[in-house]
Structure 1
Amino acid sequence: MSIFASPRFLSRVMWTDAASCAATGALQLAATQPLAALTGLPAPLLAGTGLFLLVYALAAAWMARRQPTPRTLIGVVAVGNLGWALACGALLWSGRLPVTAWGAAWVLAQAVVVVVLAELQWTGLRRSRAPLQGARHAAA
Structure 2
Amino acid sequence: MTTTATRPRTLDLLRLTLRLDAVVTGANGAAYLAAAPWLTDLLGVPAGALRGLGVFLLAYAGGVWLVAARPRVSGVATEVVVGANLLWAAASVAAVVTDRFPLTGVGTAWVLLQAAVVAGFAAAQLAALRSR
Q: Deviations over 1:8-45 (max 9, x none)?
A: 11111110010001110000000001101111112121
Q: Does 1:123 find its partner at 2:127? A: yes
Task: Provide the identity percentage.
Answer: 38
Partner of 1:22, secondary structure, is helix
Q: Is the 8 A contact 1:4 1:124 kept in 2?
A: no
1:28 aligns with 2:32: yes
Alignment partners' CA distance in 2, 1:119 and 1:96: 26
TM-score, normalization: structure 1? 0.86
C-alpha distance 36-64 of structure 1, shift in aligned 2 (>3 A):
same
- 1:75 aligns to what? 79
Give the corresponding residue for 2:61: 57
**Structure 1 counterpart of 2:43, which letter?**
T
Aligned position for 2:96: 92
- Which of the pair has more CA radius of gyration? 1
Partners of 2:81 and 2:27 in 1: CA distance: 18
**In the TM superposition, what is the alpha-carbon distance from 1:98 to its structure 2 partner?**
1.4
Structure 2 match to 1:15 = 19
Aligned counterparts, 1:100-139, within 5 A: 100-128=104-132
Query: What is the aligned length?
Result: 128
The amino acid across from 2:111 in the alignment is V
Distance, in Å, in 1 between the alignment partners of 2:95 and 2:127 is 28
TM-score, L = length of structure 2: 0.90
- The alpha carbon displacement at 1:95 in A equals 2.0
Task: Provide structure 1 residue ranges, at least 5 long, that are not aligned to the other structure.
Answer: 129-140
